[in-house]
């Protein structure tokens, strides 16, 4: 019984949807007036008929009939049928739209200035034509709905675009669910885009839109463009895949770009005179030139010279989504004083708060991400593989690749992986500014060789992390590997300050030598600048920048040159520092001060710790290993009148101390030591350090030890527990057993010392 | 006998159930019939929610036509209405307005008599002759509904 009643109700409901409609046909256009709403239809002078505000010239009316067609208010349907188009206009909006049709070229003028019956007008487009278009003019918001449309404009009538909306208001482009729509514009028109909207457009729906931009851009909007849910495929474009102003916001959906002639997405500031408004609340009246990616997927490849996958005159802000970007364009050397590069992302500033981004750069001297101002990573993952080669020509230009480049760089969280292979390329480079790392996992690998920069007249190598200003490391984990000639793991011209975090830097390349006077040394960490004034014995140096370490865990190794080098002063007051090299393990061009922390310099071919100025040991725990004489464990530039001052600290120096040192704290020497053996250093009865003597081929003598109190030493001890430091060459807070006491004698300084002031 | 009494009770119960079942089936049939009837009426009501198109001439003359299969053609100076009942012509210059109606309100309630000849027929098609004007016809004819034709078209008038 219930089923029967249900059926009855269903039938009754079904029946109720039928309604009568008066259809007024003028050429290809049919205006549909529901009988219930048609009201009084007025004749005037026998020449015109007015229905629901729409006046028809009777001589233009080709047919009128009444049927049961259902009319959806506010809707204008355009159905493309090969060489013609059929237009159905809902009666309630008939007075506001004036269609003109030539073949399948449809132009509609819209005149309403407010909602009609509480809603905006919807233009519903469907069908197929190989020579048609949809042109819409107006001054009030509306919706263009794509319902399974294949539209190619072969011979423009109104515009060369496939869809042209000459309306400065908000235009919804709704791509109906499960429909596929393909637009292609005319290659011979004057249009700015295959899909052109003068005002601001909102792409939405759950269908698919394919675009072939045969003249200029694929999608062009005069104002902002937003996108949600839908799938847009820019199959080709002579210019940009998407070009817009004010801002571009992708909330979800998918975007793919192939065969674009310029950038995949470009967003400009609309009012260049007024400049950027910056990001505004809810993007109200925003004219920032920003690109926002909230969610969704972007897959873009650009190949044209200096083309970018994402290019914003404002900022690029990534909060989520998955971006796969390939920048394969060549370098633009039209103006060699201001060359332009291909890039995955280019912006005024770049901010990543989430999302997963993979960028591959193959274009010469290309950039993974480049920002004129700041680059900030707050989360997500960013993976850049930059294969771009170096381009140079004499003294006119020298351009090498960059993984990430900006004026100022902040790495706060997330995962950043960068690799570059071009000569003298940089993994992450702060031009003119600083790099600050407070968190995240950063891995940078450079494999390129050194190269001569004819513009700067200098020999240059690669660098993993490079700043013209300072580098501040306050947290996070950095793994920096450089394998090319002259390559450096980390380098800055200003001050490198490490207060926390983990740095593991290695340089396995050899020296890059351009000439006898120009070369680039491969070092793990280098900071500061020493500027030579004068020459020969009269040469003096001016120092700037340097290295300050107050915390963190630093591991640096270099195969052929200094592992850590300050071209100015070097101050260590905390943290754990381990440096390993065949050259000086740690070198300072000016004064070197250790007042805290745990520092080990292990050199297999030079000094363990070397200062070209004074060397001050005031505290901390120092373990230095030098090669055989004339190298010393701890060296100062005695030749130039400088000196080693020991006033505190726990010290182990294999190879001894610089001659003429000022040893306010008593030092002792052991005449021999055993490679590979663990030793225990005591201050009175307190174990201050357990350390393992390296097994380098060449190691100097004696082994000097010192503590602030009564210094004793045991050899051949067993070590357990505690915390291993210095790549397991030291142990803190461990338990020591067995071993034998080492005979120590007073030590007042060695006879060695490097003859070179560096 | 207990067994005989039991059989009799069972027989009566079975009979009662059959009767109830029959009543239920009859009620169901009625409901279905009712439903179909309602639906049919509903459909018809919707199909013909506005079954008439009323044309009003400049002189106030009303003409209603069924909208079933209705088409309108504007030809030169006339409107040609075609529906299941046939075609009718109207001079465009004499048309004032038109509207959909739920009832055949187009029965003439002429307000603006015109002084021109009209030919009058009964609703069964019997010609009653030509009158000098509609008002003359109304004064002459007995109560009823008539079809009149003049230069402005063909329409109905009611004589009260």
Spell out which residues of chain B touch residue A11, defining contact as CB-CB under 8 Å. 35, 39, 42
Is B38's CB within 8 Å of A8's CB?
yes
Contacts of B76 in chain A (CB under 8 A): none
Is residue A453 within 8 A of residue A477, CB to CB? The reply is: no
pLDDT for residue B120 = 77
Q: Is B74 on the interface with A (CB under 8 A)?
A: yes
State the DSSP code for A743.
P
Shortest alpha-carbon distance between residue B62 and chain A (Å): 13
Task: State pLDDT tens for residues A244-298.
Answer: 999 999 999 999 999 999 999 999 999 999 999 999 999 999 999 999 999 999 9
pLDDT at B5 over 70: no
How far apart CA A72 and CA A93 sit, in angstroms, is: 10
Residue A4 contacts residue B31 (beta carbons within 8 Å): yes
Distances (CA, A) of A494 to A434, A468, A543, A551, A567: 8, 7, 10, 19, 10
- The pLDDT of residue B142: 73
Greater model confidence, B118 or A165: A165
Dihedral pair phi/psi, residue A222, rounded to 5°: -75, -25
pLDDT digits (tens, 9 = 90+) for A67-100: 999 999 999 999 999 999 999 999 999 999 999 9
Domains of chain A, by residue range, sit at: 1-70, 72-268, 326-512+520-548, 559-758
**Residue B76, SS3?**
coil
Token pair recorded at residue A16: 């109720």
Give B98's contacts in chain A (Cβ within 8 Å).
Answer: 40-41, 43
ipTM of the complex: 0.74
Q: Is B33 on the interface with A (CB under 8 A)?
A: no
- What is the reported pLDDT for B22? 63
Q: Is the pLDDT of residue B121 over 90?
A: no
Distance between CA atoms of B54 and A378, rounded to whole angstroms? Answer: 72
* Most A-contacting residue of B27, B70, B74, B83 (CB-CB within 10 A), to test interface: B74
Confidence at B41, pLDDT banded by 50, 70, 90: very low
Assign B8 a pLDDT band (cuts: 50, 70, 90).
low
User: Is some CB atom of chain A closer than 8 A to the CB atom of B29?
Assistant: no
How high is the pLDDT of residue B24?
62
Mean pLDDT calculated for residue range B54-79: 91
- Secondary structure letter of residue A331 according to DSSP: P
Burial A170-187 (b: 16+ CB within 10 A, else e): bbbbbbbeebbbbbbbbe
A12 touches chain B (CB under 8 A): yes
* pLDDT 10s digits, A93-147: 999 999 999 999 999 999 999 999 999 999 999 999 999 999 999 999 999 999 9
Residues of chain A short of pLDDT 70, as ranges, are 1-18, 751-758
- Average pLDDT over every residue of B57-83: 91
B71–A64 C-beta distance less than 8 A: yes
pLDDT at B37: 43
Nearest-Cα residue of chain B relative to residue A2: B28
Token pair belonging to A410: 């902040």
Looking at residue B114, its pLDDT comes to 42
Return d(Cα A555, Cα A505) in angstroms, integer.
6
DSSP assigned state of B94: G
Residue A370 has a pLDDT of 98
Please say whether the beta carbons of A160 and A177 come within 8 A.
no
How much of chain A exceeds pLDDT 90, in percent? 92
Token pair for A87: 């237009």
**pLDDT given at position B26:** 64
User: A560: which DSSP letter?
Assistant: S
The count of residues in chain B is: 160
Closest CA to A693 of A717, A711, A709: A717
For residue A10, what pLDDT is reported? 44
Q: Which two tokens stand for residue A704?
A: 């000097």
Q: How far is CA A606 from CA A13, A34, A563, A660, A752, in A?
A: 95, 96, 12, 19, 12
Residue A752: CB atoms within 10 A of its CB come to 22
Whether A522 and A558 have beta carbons less than 8 Å apart is answered as yes
- By percentage, how much of chain A surpasses pLDDT 70? 96
Question: What are the residue boundaries of the structural domains of chain B, listed by start?
Answer: 1-47, 52-159
Cα–Cα distance, A541 to A531 (Å, whole number):
5
Closest residue on chain B to A35 (Cα): B100
Q: Which of A294, A250, A242, A297 is nearest to A268 (CA)?
A: A242
Taking contacts as CB-CB distances below 8 angstroms, the residues of chain A near B32 are 4
**Chain A (52-111) residues lying within 8 Å, Cβ to Cβ, of chain B:** 58-59, 61, 63-66, 68
Q: Is the pLDDT of residue B128 over 80?
A: no
- SS3 labels along A673-706: CCCCCEEEEEECCEEEEEEECCCCCCCCCCEEEE
User: Does B102 score more than 60 pLDDT?
Assistant: yes
**Set of chain B residues whose Cβ sits within 8 Å of the Cβ of A40:** 97-99
Whether B32 and A39 lie within 8 Å, measured CB to CB: no
**Residue indicated by tokens 């003859």:** A755
* Most A-contacting residue of B52, B64, B72, B94 (CB-CB within 10 A), to test interface: B72
* pLDDT recorded at residue B20: 64
């Amino acid at each position: 019984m219930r089923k029967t009643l249900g059926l009855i109700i269903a039938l009754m409901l079904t029946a109720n949807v039928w309604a009568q409609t008066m259809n007024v046909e003028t050429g290809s256009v049919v205006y549909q007036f529901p009988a219930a709403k048609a009201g009084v239809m007025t004749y005037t002078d026998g020449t015109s008929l007015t229905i629901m505000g729409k006046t028809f010239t009777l001589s233009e009316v080709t047919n009128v009939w009444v049927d049961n067609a259902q009319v959806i208010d506010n809707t204008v349907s355009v159905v493309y049928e090969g060489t013609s188009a059929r237009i159905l206009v809902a009666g309630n909006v008939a007075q506001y739209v004036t269609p003109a049709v030539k073949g399948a070229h449809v132009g509609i003028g819209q005149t309403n200035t407010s909602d009609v019956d509480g809603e905006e007008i919807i233009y519903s487009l469907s069908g197929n034509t190989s020579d048609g278009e949809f042109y819409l003019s107006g001054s009030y918001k509306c919706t263009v709905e794509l319902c399974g449309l294949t539209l190619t404009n072969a011979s423009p009538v109104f515009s060369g675009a496939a869809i042209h909306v000459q309306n400065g208001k908000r235009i919804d482009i709704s791509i109906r669910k499960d429909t596929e729509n393909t637009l292609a514009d005319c290659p011979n028109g004057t249009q700015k885009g295959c899909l052109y909207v003068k005002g601001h457009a909102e792409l939405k729906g759950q269908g698919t839109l394919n675009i072939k931009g045969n003249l200029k851009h694929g999608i062009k909007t005069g104002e902002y463009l937003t996108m949600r849910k839908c799938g847009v495929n820019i199959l080709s474009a002579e210019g940009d895949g998407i070009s817009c102003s004010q801002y571009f916001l992708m909330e979800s959906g998918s975007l793919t770009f192939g065969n674009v002639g310029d950038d995949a997405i470009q967003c400009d500031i609309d009012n260049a005179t007024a400049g950027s408004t910056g990001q505004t609340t809810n993007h109200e009246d925003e004219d920032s030139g920003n690109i926002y990616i909230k969610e969704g997927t972007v897959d873009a490849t650009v190949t044209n010279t200096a083309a970018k996958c994402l290019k914003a005159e404002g900022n690029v802000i990534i909060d989520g989504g998955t971006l796969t970007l390939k920048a394969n364009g060549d370098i633009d050397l039209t103006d060699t004083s201001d060359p332009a590069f291909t890039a995955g992302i280019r912006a005024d500033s770049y901010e990543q708060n989430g999302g997963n981004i993979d960028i591959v750069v193959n274009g010469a001297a290309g950039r993974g991400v480049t920002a004129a101002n700041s680059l900030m990573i707050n989360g997500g993952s960013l993976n850049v593989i930059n294969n771009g080669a170096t381009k140079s020509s004499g003294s006119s230009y020298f351009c090498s690749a960059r993984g990430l480049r900006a004026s100022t760089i902040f790495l706060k969280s997330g995962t950043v992986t960068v690799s570059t292979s071009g000569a003298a390329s940089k993994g992450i480079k702060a031009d003119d500014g600083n790099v600050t790392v407070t968190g995240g996992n950063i891995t940078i690998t450079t494999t390129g060789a050194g190269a001569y920069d004819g513009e700067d007249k200098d020999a240059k190598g690669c660098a993993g992390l490079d700043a013209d200003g300072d580098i501040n490391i306050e947290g996070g984990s950095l793994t920096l590997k450089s394998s090319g000639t002259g390559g450096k793991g980390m380098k800055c011209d200003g001050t490198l300050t490490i207060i926390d975090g983990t740095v593991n830097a290695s340089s396995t390349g050899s020296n890059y030598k351009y000439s006898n006077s120009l070369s680039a040394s491969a070092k793990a960490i280098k900071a500061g600048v020493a500027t030579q004034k004068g020459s020969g014995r009269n040469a003096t140096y001016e120092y700037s920048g340097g290295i300050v370490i107050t915390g963190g865990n630093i591991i640096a190794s270099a195969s052929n040159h200094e592992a850590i080098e300050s071209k100015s002063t070097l101050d260590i007051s905390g943290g754990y520092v381990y440096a390993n090299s065949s050259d000086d393990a740690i070198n300072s061009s000016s004064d070197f001060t250790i007042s805290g922390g745990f520092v080990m310099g292990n050199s297999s071919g030079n000094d363990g710790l070397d200062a070209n100025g004074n060397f001050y040991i005031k505290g901390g725990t120092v373990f230095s290993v030098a090669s055989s004489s004339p190298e010393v464990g701890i060296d100062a530039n005695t030749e130039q009148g400088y000196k080693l001052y020991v006033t505190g600290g726990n010290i182990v120096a294999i190879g001894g101390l610089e001659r003429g040192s000022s040893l306010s704290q008593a030092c002792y020497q052991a005449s021999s030591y055993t490679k590979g053996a663990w030793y225990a250093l005591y201050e009175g009865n307190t174990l201050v350090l357990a350390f393992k003597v390296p097994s380098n081929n060449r190691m100097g003598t004696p082994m000097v030890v010192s503590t602030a109190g009564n210094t004793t030493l045991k050899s051949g001890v067993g070590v357990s527990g505690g915390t291993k430091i210095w790549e397991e060459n030291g142990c803190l807070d461990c338990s020591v057993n067995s071993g034998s006491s080492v005979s120590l004698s007073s030590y007042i300084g060695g006879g060695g010392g490097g003859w070179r002031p560096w | 006998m207990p067994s005989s009494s039991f059989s009799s009770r069972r027989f009566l119960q079975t009979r009662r159930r059959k009767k109830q079942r029959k009543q239920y089936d009859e009620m169901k049939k009625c409901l279905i019939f009712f439903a179909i009837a309602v639906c049919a009426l509903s459909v018809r009501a919707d199909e013909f929610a506005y079954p008439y198109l009323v044309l009003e001439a400049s002189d106030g003359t009303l003409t209603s036509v069924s909208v079933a299969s209705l088409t309108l053609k504007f030809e030169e100076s006339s409107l040609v209405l075609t529906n299941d009942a046939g075609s009718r012509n109207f001079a465009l210059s004499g048309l004032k307005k038109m509207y959909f109606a739920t009832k055949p309100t187009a029965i003439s309630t002429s307000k603006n008599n015109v002084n021109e000849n009209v030919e009058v027929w009964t609703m069964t098609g019997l010609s009653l002759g030509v009158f000098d004007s509609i008002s003359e016809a109304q004064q002459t004819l007995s109560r009823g509904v008539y079809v009149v034709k003049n230069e402005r078209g063909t329409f109905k008038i009611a004589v009260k």
